[in-house]
Chain A
Amino acid sequence: MTESLIWVNEDGINPEHKMFRDYPDAPRVYIFDVSYLQQWRISHHRLQFIYESLLEIPHISIYKGETVAVLDSLLQEYNVREVITTATPNHIITGWQDEILKQADLVTYPQIYPVQDSSSPRRFARYWRQSDRFWLTP
């Protein structure tokens, strides 16, 4: 029985991502959010690039609509209570994630950076002085 749903977002379209190996039987979905596309006047080229990238993910189902409403419907359709996704700082996507959390558990795979310190020093030169050795070490 399927217990989870993988929700791919536009900042994490990687067919080799660990989440696909960890949840091999989970349905994989992507939603083109019409309100977002219209509000931010996203170009055809960006949408096509995303679409082409998605098609490398086996068995992906792609939807058009309002992200949260579509996910709600899919949670019911698949009868699952857990959504698997990837982290992004994108405030629009994190807003959707917050909404989903009201309906389901959310497992978010973090982005990987060589430096774990999460405070920003506000100037890159300062940041680089503090962290270059981490970035330059394999």
Chain B
Amino acid sequence: MQQLKTDFTSREDMAAYIQQEFPFLESPGGLSPYLGGRKAGLARLEEFKIEQYGKERNFLNGEVSRLSPYISRGCLELEEVRQWALQHPLSKSVESFVSELAWRGFFHLVYQEEGTGILADLEPPKVSLGKHQITLPEDIARGETGLPSMDTLIGMLRETGYLHNHARMYLASYVVHFRKVSWRSGADWMYALLIDGDFASNHLSWQWVASTFSNKPYIFNRENLERYGGAVLPGDPRQGDPFDASYEALAERLFGGEYRPEPRRSSGNYQ
């Protein structure tokens, strides 16, 4: 048993100490922009423009709370954030934000009920996942897939320890459905890197994407990626673009007819 220091002159000083005491940790170098602590969480809550959330939340550059690190680590309690939200006049936007908090409560309920069961398929998949590889390919772990959009998201995840929710879904879908990697491998990888890593929200979201905790697989196409991520992500080469197809064509290519999307499917919202 070793007692650790509690006096530091700066975040950089702390980072160096952590590296010395825990040399096995994955470190991209540099500091995350997310400063830990309740004070920083309350400051973020003050800045959050909840009125804009409903319309912008699916856009990677839209107004989202970025509170999940603070809620997941308990610096802010879910209930106090909910009460804060409900101090605003009830609107679609406020309702939308509260329903996202409810997702967290819902995931925790399932985790409480299932325990470690959430680390394996909760339901039979709705498309074949049995032959997916069980180790995460190195090019994904390193952010060197050759697809600038996905590499940018992986870079953000590694460098900041945070990703917008829609970005998490894009990455999860890319890993599971486009690259045919088991959702569990992807979920463990993301859990490790996220500041807000939480088995319930993380692993159940991956299962939702994979279709082992939902009625269908989650996939996205070029049009969706451009619409919601275009302001943040670099374009991908047009030649061989794996996302550049209609949902019907993508489903045929990825699932061979096991799943047929409804026509005009658009947003990446959870349903």
Closest chain-B Cβ to A120's Cβ sits at a distance in Å of 4
Q: Are B1 and A52 in contact (CB under 8 A)?
A: no
Q: How far is the CB of A43 from chain B (nearest CB, A)?
A: 5
* Cβ B95 vs Cβ A136 within 8 A: yes
Report the minimum CB–CB distance from B2 to chain A (whole Å): 5
Report the count of interface residues on A (CB-CB < 8 A): 61
Task: State in angstroms the CA–CA spacing of A37 and B22 once bound together.
Answer: 9
Let me know if A48 and B86 touch, CB within 8 A.
Answer: no
Given contacts A90-B199, A125-B271, contact A56 B1 (CB under 8 A): no
Cross-chain contact B188 with A40 (CB below 8 angstroms):
yes
Which residues of A are found within 8 Å of B188, using beta-carbon distances?
Answer: 40-41
**A115 surroundings in chain B (CB, below 8 A):** 105
- Is there an interface contact between A73 and B105, defined as CB atoms closer than 8 Å? no
Q: How many A-B residue pairs have CB under 8 A?
A: 194
Q: Are B161 and A45 in contact (CB under 8 A)?
A: yes
Q: Complex Cα distance A60/B36, Å?
A: 15
Q: Does A42 contact B (CB under 8 A)?
A: yes
Q: A41-83, CB under 8 A of B: which get 1 and which 0?
A: 1111111111111011000111111000110010000000000
A114 at the interface (CB under 8 A from B): yes
Nearest-CB residue, chain A, relative to B109: A120
Across the interface, B106 reaches (CB within 8 A) one of A17, A34, A46, A124, namely A124
Given A49-B69, A120-B113, 9 more A-B residue pairs with CB atoms under 8 Å apart are A40-B188, A42-B25, A43-B195, A53-B38, A63-B1, A65-B2, A113-B78, A120-B112, A136-B95
Contact A118 B112 (CB under 8 A): yes
Report whether A47 and B22 are in contact in the complex, using a CB–CB cutoff of 8 Å: yes
**Interchain CB contact under 8 A, B161 and A50:** no
A14 in the interface (beta carbon within 8 A) = yes
Report how far A51 CA is from B14 CA in the complex, Å.
9
Question: Quick one: CB contact mask for B1-20 with A, threshold 8 Å, 1 for yes?
Answer: 11111101001001100110
**Alpha-carbon distance between A122 and B110 when the two chains are bound, in angstroms:** 7
Which of A34, A41, A64, A128 is the one whose CB lies under 8 Å from B102? A128
Cβ contacts under 8 Å, B14 to chain A: 48, 51-52
Chain A residues closer than 8 Å to B111, beta-carbon distance: 89, 91
Is B197 engaged at the interface, CB distance under 8 Å to the other chain?
Answer: yes
Interface size grouping (class) on chain B? 35 or more
Q: Pick out which of these stretches binds chain A: B27-35, B48-56, B170-178.
A: B27-35
Closest chain A residue, CB of each to CB of B17: A51
CB–CB B79/A112 < 8 A: yes
Chain A contact residues, majority secondary structure: mixed
Please report the C-alpha to C-alpha distance between residue A106 and residue B229 in the assembled complex, in whole angstroms.
47
A-B contact pairs, 25 of them (CB 8 A): A16-B38, A37-B24, A38-B24, A41-B188, A43-B192, A43-B195, A44-B22, A47-B25, A48-B15, A48-B31, A49-B32, A49-B34, A49-B35, A49-B161, A51-B18, A52-B14, A55-B6, A62-B5, A64-B22, A91-B116, A112-B77, A113-B105, A119-B109, A135-B82, A136-B90
Contact A43 B26, beta carbon cutoff 8 Å: yes
- Interchain CB contact (< 8 A) of A47 among B18, B37, B191: B18
Contacts of A62 in B (CB 8 A): 3-6
Closest CB in chain B relative to A62 CB, distance in Å: 4
Once the chains are docked, how many angstroms separate the CA of A10 from the CA of B70? 11
| Nearest neighbor of A72 in chain B, beta-carbon distance | B1
Distance, CA A99 to CA B255, complexed state (A): 45
Closest to B208 in A: A124
A43 with B27: CB separation less than 8 A: yes
Find out whether the CB atom of A44 lies under 8 angstroms from the CB atom of B26: yes
Q: What is the CB-to-nearest-CB distance from A64 to chain B, in angstroms, rounded to a whole number? A: 5
B15 touches A44 (CB 8 A): yes
List chain B residues, Cβ under 8 A from A112.
77-79
Query: Are A63 and B2 in touch, CB under 8 angstroms?
Result: yes
